């Protein structure tokens, strides 16, 4: 969206202006390494909530790599500032490095010096420089976890943590709830030390609210959301439904004219709950004949007749 001054004359309706203002407010939830650094090093000293070695090694390294890769510079040689840059190199940076070793200080300076191939002077790069990173870029999971852990749970009348998750469900994961839930689950394991049970519980409550909302919408629209419960294993379930389709009793769903095991697994997932606990992705994997893990000795116990044997007049259904 193009930037506009928030002037009602530039919007056709008040609702349009309010929508624009809300979208601008939600932009704060984009993963911004500079904002994360500012939040950690602010006057409330949030950095003390985190392991010092983690900040000094993993966090600092990730920041430098990201800022290097995006060629972000705070100050570089311009033909006139050689004394300024030399002052940093010879005096200020060694001093700040020494100070950062004190346990009551943040464990590294708020900037670093970068070699400049075009001059004899090192450039200065401030860690607080705005730097947006997107899903798929290096260290996205690390910075996502940090920003999530720095979100206020409640701010005024808003649930900040919920808004943060809602923003990324829509904008980063394109409303793929299953993929986003897996991402957050893995994040809470990988960065358990600072996400801790509190943020895992916040995420669980968020996903439960989404699922409850989806179920309520289905009920309000007249859909019957009650599911059947499968009491066996995922591999048994998938093998049985593969057999039913291969014997012509169910039509395989198609994608672009080709049999789609993933689509078949998703349809089954939406009809059944699984007493043993599993994921849609696992059902989709097991639904592929080449990936099903049911042992041969167990497969022989499933005997499904071909449709032609029990309904000769119908003929075999094309798969």
Average pLDDT of the segment spanning 141-162: 78
- Strand, coil or helix: what is 50? coil
Among 74-78, 183-187, 199-203, the range scoring the smallest mean pLDDT is 199-203
Q: Where does residue 262 rank: exposed (0-12), middle (13-18), buried (19+ CB within 10 A)?
A: middle
Residues whose CB falls within 8 Å of the CB of residue 73, separated by 6 or more in sequence, listed in order: 114, 123, 124, 125
For 192-248, the pLDDT digits (tens) are 998 888 888 888 888 888 877 876 776 666 555 678 999 999 999 999 999 999 999
For 11-34, the pLDDT digits (tens) are 677 777 666 666 666 678 899 999
**How far apart, in whole angstroms, are the C-alpha atoms of residue 229 and residue 180?**
25
Task: Express as a percent the part of the chain with pLDDT over 90.
Answer: 61
Listed by start position, the domains of the chain span 31-126, 151-220, 228-310
Task: Express as a percent the part of the chain with pLDDT over 70.
Answer: 86
For 92-108, the pLDDT digits (tens) are 999 999 999 999 999 99
Residue tagged 């000795």 (tokens): 297
């Amino acid at each position: 969206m193009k930037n506009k001054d928030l002037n009602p004359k530039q919007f056709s309706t008040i609702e349009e202006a309010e929508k624009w203002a809300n979208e601008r407010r939600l932009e704060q939830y984009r993963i911004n390494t500079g904002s994360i650094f500012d939040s950690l090093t602010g006057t409330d000293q949030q950095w003390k909530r985190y392991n010092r070695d983690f900040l000094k090694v993993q966090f600092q390294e990730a920041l430098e790599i990201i800022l290097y890769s995006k060629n972000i510079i705070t100050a570089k040689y311009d033909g006139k500032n050689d004394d300024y840059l030399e002052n940093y190199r010879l005096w200020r940076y060694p001093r700040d490095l020494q100070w950062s070793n004190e346990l009551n200080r943040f464990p590294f300076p708020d900037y670093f010096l970068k070699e400049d191939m075009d001059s004899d002077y090192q450039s200065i790069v401030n860690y607080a420089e705005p730097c947006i990173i997107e899903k798929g870029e290096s260290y996205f999971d690390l910075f996502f976890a940090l920003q999530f852990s720095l979100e206020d749970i409640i701010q005024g009348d808003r649930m900040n943590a919920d808004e943060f998750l809602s923003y990324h469900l829509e904008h980063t994961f394109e409303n793929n709830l299953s993929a986003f839930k897996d991402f957050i689950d893995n994040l809470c394991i990988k960065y358990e030390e600072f996400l801790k049970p509190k943020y895992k519980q916040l995420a669980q409550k968020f996903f439960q609210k989404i699922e409850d909302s989806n179920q309520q919408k289905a009920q309000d629209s007249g859909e019957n959301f009650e599911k059947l419960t499968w009491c066996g294993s995922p591999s048994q379930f998938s093998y049985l439904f593969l057999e039913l389709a291969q014997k012509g009793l169910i039509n395989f769903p198609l994608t672009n004219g080709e049999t789609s095991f993933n689509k078949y697994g998703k349809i089954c997932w939406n009809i059944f709950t699984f007493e043993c606990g599993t994921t849609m992705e696992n059902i989709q994997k097991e639904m592929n004949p080449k990936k099903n893990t049911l042992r041969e000795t167990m497969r022989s116990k499933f005997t499904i007749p071909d449709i032609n044997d029990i309904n000769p007049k119908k003929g075999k259904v094309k798969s």
